[in-house]
Amino acid sequence: MRIGIIGTGVAGSLLAEGLEGFDVTAFERVAPGDQAEAGTGLNIGPNALKALRLNRTARHAALRAASLPWQRWFIDLADGTRLFNLDLREVAEEPGVRIRWSELYRLLRAPVAGCTRSAHALEALEEDAAGRLVPVFRTPGGLVRDGGFDLLVGADGRYSRLRSLAAGEPEGTLLGVCIWRLLVTEAGDCPYDDYGQWFNGNARLLSFRVPGGAVYIAGTFPLGIDRQIPDAMKTAAAQRALFTPADAPPCPAVAWMLAKIDAHVAEIHWARSAIVPVLRHALDGRALFLGDAAQAMVPTLGQGATQAVECGVIAANVLRAGGDAAAVATARDQRVEFVRQFSMESSDTLLPPVDVQAGTAKKRQPDYLAKLRKLYTEVV
Ligand SMILES: Cc1cc2nc3c(=O)[nH]c(=O)nc-3n(C[C@H](O)[C@H](O)[C@H](O)COP(=O)(O)OP(=O)(O)OC[C@H]3O[C@@H](n4cnc5c(N)ncnc54)[C@H](O)[C@@H]3O)c2cc1C
């Protein structure tokens, strides 16, 4: 069986590595060694680490070596009042990781470089006489084809070209919040380390240290009725007003982040949180979708890349055992549905009229912690 993988991000790289020995070719839009588009940092959940520990020992070790452990999750108000403080080991078998995007892509792409054609961006889809899919790629030298594939895997992310060619453009649903990201590289004086969230009303800062002396900061705030991000909000002054408590000074952590926003507002990447409906396969099972291409979700629990890890590892196991796209759906879709619903449920405090203190109190209750335990440990 000839398998083509579109995209060597998280899911695609892990799938290609897991199918070593099979007839696999991966196609990646970016040029070799170019991780420039992957600018910031991320946290990857303990469930992804468990999937790697049980299935890919070398990748697990490489990820640990290139990252800091994600061991704690605390939630404060912007004045420093602590609402929630969880040691992840209470609900997981091992910590997650905090890592830079560029490092994550580098260490996942390295083992599959031999089967990857870089600077190949999927553009169109054709069929050969045997009914096999023939992807058409844009390369620096023009359009190229590489023959027919029995199975084509869309691991090309949230705006999957394969998905739109095979099944039409998916209709996204906006959550109604803006999410921005910033990587601060001169962060020696940062007053915190592990994963924290700071709320002022429903506006939230999220931040943690990543390797190399850098700090990742993400800001979230509710959008108005038309769901657009007003230009007026993309200024340091507007962000300072958003995250400064009305009746108290900001705590040292928030004050530090506000100073970094002042200095780096031009580097901030602005986006809107959205989900798309799950689609695991199309074209009678000849196209299979993994990671964001199949299941883009809200980033609230940090499960996007984490689920892409699970997808890459589990799909490789299923295909190695002779399974098809429908078998991957059986192995993945119930789990993904649980994670998507739990991520939405956990987004409650990002939107009015939910009161942050009451919403956070719910996260200390046994039923929420039981769901976290299921999320972090029940990896197939
Ligand atoms: C603001 C924000 C914060 C986030 N934070 C976290 C977090 O902390 N933790 C977490 O787990 N997740 C996080 N996520 C989610 C995470 O970014 C994604 O879920 C994850 O990258 C999906 O992995 P993937 O393998 O499906 O796709 P990607 O990692 O996006 O990889 C897709 C690959 O396909 C390639 N490609 C794209 N189009 C083509 C084409 N036409 N032809 C060939 N190749 C192509 C791309 O170059 C890329 O290499 C966040 C997302 C956002 C927006």
Top-level class of domain 40-102+175-274+348-380: alpha beta
pLDDT in tens, 167-191: 999 999 999 999 999 999 999 999 9
Distance CA 12, CA 25 (A): 11
Name the pLDDT band for 38 (thresholds 50, 70, 90).
low
Residue 32 has a pLDDT of 84
Tell me the percentage of the chain whose pLDDT exceeds 90.
96
**CATH number of the domain at 1-29+119-172+276-346, please?**
3.50.50.60
Residue 7 has a pLDDT of 98
Ligand 1 atom closest to the CA of 218, numbered from 1:
1
DSSP string, 52-73: HHHH-HHHHHHHHHTSEEE-EE
Residue 156 has pLDDT above 60, yes or no: yes
Report the phi/psi class of residue 93: left, alpha or beta, with left for phi > 0 and alpha for psi in -120 to 50: alpha
Q: Could you give the residue range(s) of every CATH 3.30.9.30 domain in the chain?
A: 40-102+175-274+348-380
Residue 33 has pLDDT above 80, yes or no: no
Q: Are 325 and 151 in contact (CB under 8 A)?
A: yes
Mutate to test the pocket of ligand 1, among 10, 99, 288, 346 (most ligand atoms within 8 A of CB): 10
Residue 34 has pLDDT above 80, yes or no: no
Distance CA 368, CA 374 (A): 10
Q: Which residues line ligand 1 (CB under 6 A)?
A: 6-12, 27-30, 42-44, 121-122, 155-157, 161, 179, 181, 218, 271, 291-293, 299, 302-306, 308
Q: Could you give the residue range(s) of every CATH 3.50.50.60 domain in the chain?
A: 1-29+119-172+276-346
Q: Which residue has the higher pLDDT, 227 or 49?
A: 49
